[in-house]
């Protein structure tokens, strides 16, 4: 079996952002369930938070190609 | 076998040895598609051609749909206005605020429509290749946003004022240089870097995933009966990925303009 260890590293690196994205959307769903009229206010905030957390995983993807390739 | 193919990584074309050799995993080379001039850095790639086509397409459609604007809108005008209002009200007005947002609507709307159509090229049959999967395109778009939000910030507050406004008031004196350093890195390095890489990374990874599933399914069809059966779930998974990618591609266009608008709003803000 062939492969590259930095791929495993990338897999590990995505755990943090994955948990973060889950927490963000959990909070968003909670907020909308409690107060449906706040939906339009919460949506950009949730997507913004999601994008910022996701950036960490994107960094890792790039580092994988920089160091791994 | 699929696991081997996945674990073998995306960097080198690895021939899977155990169980039916000959399957080549897709590599990042699938994004290098020169159409005119096959060698050198100055080759015109397929993505450049489709990027140009998308601009022409957008111009023609938008001019056609907005030319005969009436008080009672036609179906096309109604669709166009809905699309426009999404970027105008949902992004620009909500993020920048009612006072300054109108100036930035043309920029944000152009960015949104251009990125959206170029992302959706990734799943539209004649193209099947997201333009933003080449890093140069996101960098060019981010360069525009980068110049704009620094420019308006410096124009509003002056060069010194712009840097002073990065640090919030009411902090103890000794901590201010550290916050200043962090904020300068955020404004000048992290923000443009993440903005470009997020769009690129999502389009790149999504396209690779689709190519992997489709090529694996096609490869299974060339093998014996058991593998032919295995190609069914593989193709189903590829179809699911198409739907998922449609969502991601829309979301990334939205996130791009949302973050651009929030950076512009941050440069315009009077205080924190």
B9/A3 Cβ within 8 A: yes
Cβ atoms of residues B64 and B233 within 8 Å: no
Confidence band, pLDDT 50/70/90 cuts, at residue B32: confident
Q: What pLDDT does B4 receive?
A: 38
Nearest CB to A3 within list B8, B197, B205: B8
The model's pTM is 0.85
Taking only the tens place, the pLDDT of each residue in B212-258 is 899 989 998 888 888 888 899 999 999 999 999 999 999 999 999 99
Q: What pLDDT does B60 receive?
A: 94
| Chain B touched by A3 (CB under 8 Å) | yes
Contacts of B262 in chain A (CB under 8 A): 48
C-alpha distances in Å from residue B49, one per residue of B33, B46, B128, B139? 11, 5, 13, 17
Q: What pLDDT does B6 receive?
A: 38
A55/B198 Cβ within 8 A: yes
* Least trusted range by pLDDT, from A8-17, A25-34, B30-39, B262-271: B30-39
Q: What pLDDT does A68 receive?
A: 58
Cβ atoms of residues B104 and B260 within 8 Å: no
Cβ atoms of residues B177 and B164 within 8 Å: no
DSSP E strands in chain B: the ranges are 34-36, 44-45
The residue in chain B having the minimum alpha-carbon distance to the alpha carbon of residue A66 is: B11
Q: What pLDDT does A67 receive?
A: 66
Is a pLDDT exceeding 80 seen at residue B23? no
CA proximity to B154, closest of B165, B144, B143 = B165
Q: Phi and psi for B223 in degrees, rounded to 5?
A: -95, -170
DSSP B169: S
Contacts of A55 in chain B (CB under 8 A): 194, 197-198
Cα–Cα dist B39/B221, whole Å: 34
Nearest CB to A68 within list B11, B95, B254: B11
Min CA distance, A34 vs chain B (Å)? 22
Confidence band, pLDDT 50/70/90 cuts, at residue B18: very low
Prediction ipTM score: 0.80
Domain that holds residue A14: 5-68
| Chain B touched by A38 (CB under 8 Å) | no
Q: How many domains does chain A have?
A: 1
One-character DSSP codes across A8-19: HHHHHHTHHHHH
Confidence band, pLDDT 50/70/90 cuts, at residue A30: very high
Confidence band, pLDDT 50/70/90 cuts, at residue B167: confident
- Annotate B19-87 with three-state secondary structure: CCCCCECCCHHHHCCEEECCCCCCCEEHHHHHHHHHHHHHHHHHHHHHHCCCCCCCHHHHHHHHHHHHH
CA proximity to A15, closest of A47, A45, A57 = A57
CATH of residue A45: 1.20.20.10
């Amino acid at each position: 079996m062939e492969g590259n260890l930095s791929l495993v590293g990338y897999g590990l690196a995505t755990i943090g952002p994955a948990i973060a994205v889950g927490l963000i959307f959990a909070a968003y769903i909670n907020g909308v369930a409690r107060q449906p009229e706040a939906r339009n206010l919460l949506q950009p905030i949730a997507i913004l938070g999601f994008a910022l957390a996701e950036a960490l995983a994107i960094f890792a993807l790039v580092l994988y190609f920089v160091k791994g390739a | 076998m699929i696991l081997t193919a996945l674990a073998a990584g995306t960097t080198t074309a690895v021939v899977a040895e155990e169980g039916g050799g000959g399957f080549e995993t897709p590599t990042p080379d699938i994004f290098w598609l020169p159409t005119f001039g096959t060698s050198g850095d100055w080759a015109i790639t397929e993505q450049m051609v489709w990027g140009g086509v998308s601009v022409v397409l957008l111009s023609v459609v938008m001019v056609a749909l907005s030319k005969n604007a009436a008080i009672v809108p036609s179906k096309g005008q109604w669709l166009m206005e809905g699309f426009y209002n999404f970027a105008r009200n949902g992004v620009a007005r909500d993020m920048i605020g009612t006072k300054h947002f109108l100036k930035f609507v043309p920029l944000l709307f152009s960015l949104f429509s251009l990125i959206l159509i170029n992302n959706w090229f990734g799943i539209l049959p004649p193209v099947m290749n997201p333009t933003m999967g080449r890093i140069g395109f996101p960098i060019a778009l981010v360069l525009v946003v980068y110049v704009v939000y620094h420019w308006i910030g410096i124009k509003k507050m002056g060069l010194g004022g712009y840097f002073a406004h990065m640090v919030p008031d009411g902090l103890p004196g000794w901590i201010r240089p550290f916050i200043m350093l962090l904020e300068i890195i955020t404004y000048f390095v992290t923000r443009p870097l993440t903005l470009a890489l997020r769009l690129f990374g999502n389009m790149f990874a999504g396209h690779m995933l689709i190519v992997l599933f489709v090529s694996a399914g096609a490869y299974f069809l060339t093998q014996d009966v058991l593998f032919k059966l295995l190609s069914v779930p593989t193709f189903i998974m590829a179809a699911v990925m198409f739907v998922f990618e449609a969502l991601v591609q829309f979301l990334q266009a939205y996130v791009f303009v949302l973050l651009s608008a929030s950076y512009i709003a941050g440069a315009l803000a009077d205080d924190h």
